[in-house]
Amino acid sequence: MKDLINRGKEVFMNTYSQFPLVIEKGDGVYVYDSKGNKYLDFVAGIAVNSLGYNNEKLVKALKNQLNKLTHCSNLYWNEPAIEAAELLKKYSTLDKVFFCNSGAEAVEGSLKLARKYAKKYLGNNKTEIITMKNSFHGRTFGAVTATGQTKYQKGLGPLLPGIKYCEFNNIKSLEDTIDDKTCAVLVEPIQGEGGIKPADVEYLKKVRKLCDKNNLILIFDEVQCGIGRTGEIFAYQHYNVKPDIVALAKGLGGGVPIGAILANEKAASGFCPGDHASTFGGNPLVCSAAKVVIEEISDPQYLENIKKQGKYLTKKLNELKSKYKMILDVRGHGLMQGMEMNMPVKEIILECMDKGLLLVGSGERIIRFVPPLIIQKKEIDSAIKILEDVILRVKYLND
């Protein structure tokens, strides 16, 4: 494993602070390193491997499509893309779909669509987009400019013009930021990289009303919290608030790279042929995977199990909180949970990895829990046992 890591350091750019682990294969909710060690995975590719590893239906669909057609240009139609788009339309009750390859691309395309719509129907001065402080929207220039965290923007200036920021969960801050140049508002129903912070129900409802009042496009970034992660197919369904545009990615392909923009007829009319494109967007291979994922997670029993396991995970994390003062908060929806500590969490994550549990942070002091959506009670119990053992050791060392 050390040899593989050293080889990797020789050829890859220095963009990741990687753990000293080489993942070789996965099965269900477990992954195995190149030495054969087994790990309970509560990272899931950071909310990507929604159906777990080696899912029979997903593997079969990918193999079948490989035998037919891996890629064709968007100059032509392909059936898997049409079928996946039909399912997204059905379950979102939005009207049009654009496929791309990642969350950043989905956000980038959403920003373009909002501006195109505004300039087409509202005038050339309608160019500004409001996003939230502490948000995260991706690494491309538009998406990283929209991101409300300066640490991701360091050294990249000048950033793109026309982006303004306001306080998340603060409707007055949004009201004060809207002006006659505003064309859209971009918000995560649950801030992911910002510390697993859900929007308040009343806040999102008021955001929708403000957008309607001012004729603004409302964009939801559901790259991390969408596609069943919260116990609903789309996170906005928890709030009974319908956006004009939704950006999706991560769990949509169950492990293969795909993103999507969903829009209602009004917003979608901003695009005309030639306005936006993606060479690999709507690729028949990845769309065959997305179709399986959507079919699986849209099953009411599947969603009910996500809600059930999410409630159980929340309960077990809150039990830890009641026992250890170093745990300040537990928050989230479904199988997207965050545990805030009064200390940096990297040491805890590393020790859990040594004991066979993979976790990921969300900021310096939050542990994020985003396991495969197939997780069950016994595996949650195993994860909590390892986590508590590590917390006890850290507490002992710090007392």
Query: SS in 3 state form for the chain?
Result: CHHHHHHHHHHCCCCCCCCCCCEEEEEECEEEECCCCEEEECCHHHHCCCCCECCHHHHHHHHHHHCCCCCCCCCCCCHHHHHHHHHHHHHHCCCEEEEECCHHHHHHHHHHHHHHHHHHHCCCCCCEEEEECCCCCCCCHHHHHHCCCHHHCCCCCCCCCCEEEECCCCHHHHHHHCCCCEEEEEECCEECCCCCEECCHHHHHHHHHHHHHHCCEEEEECCCCCCCCCCCCCHHHHCCCCCCEEEECHHHHECECCEEEEECHHHHCCCCCCCCCCCCCCCHHHHHHHHHHHHHHCCHHHHHHHHHHHHHHHHHHHHHHHHCCCEEEEEEECCEEEEEECCCCHHHHHHHHHCCEECEECCCCEEEECCCCCCCHHHHHHHHHHHHHHHHHHHHHHC
**pLDDT at residue 395 tops 90:** no
Q: How confident is the model at residue 399 (pLDDT cuts 50, 70, 90)?
A: low
Average pLDDT, the chain: 97
**pLDDT at residue 7 tops 90:** yes
The pLDDT assigned to 251 comes to 98
The pLDDT assigned to 265 comes to 98
Model confidence pLDDT, tens digit, residues 227-268: 999 999 999 999 999 999 999 999 999 999 999 999 999 999
In the chain, where the domains are located: 57-297, 300-366
Model confidence pLDDT, tens digit, residues 288-335: 999 999 999 999 999 999 999 999 999 999 999 999 999 999 999 999
Please state which architecture CATH assigns to domain 57-297.
Answer: 3-Layer(aba) Sandwich (3.40)
Q: How confident is the model at residue 394 (pLDDT cuts 50, 70, 90)?
A: confident
Model confidence pLDDT, tens digit, residues 48-98: 999 999 999 999 999 999 999 999 999 999 999 999 999 999 999 899 999
**pLDDT at residue 208 tops 70:** yes
Assign domain 300-366 to a CATH class. alpha beta
Mean pLDDT along residues 205-233: 98
Active-site hit among 42, 99, 136, 234: 136
User: Same CATH fold, 300-366 and 57-297?
Assistant: no
Model confidence pLDDT, tens digit, residues 9-39: 999 999 999 999 999 999 999 999 999 999 9
Model confidence pLDDT, tens digit, residues 120-156: 999 999 999 999 999 999 999 999 999 999 999 999 9
Active-site hit among 41, 116, 221, 234: 221
Mean pLDDT along residues 166-170: 98
The pLDDT assigned to 63 comes to 98
The pLDDT assigned to 256 comes to 97
* pTM over 0.85, yes/no: yes
d(C-alpha 336, C-alpha 320), whole Å = 17
The pLDDT assigned to 9 comes to 94
Active-site hit among 96, 126, 197, 250: 250
Told to judge if 250 belongs to the known catalytic residues of this protein, a careful annotator would answer yes
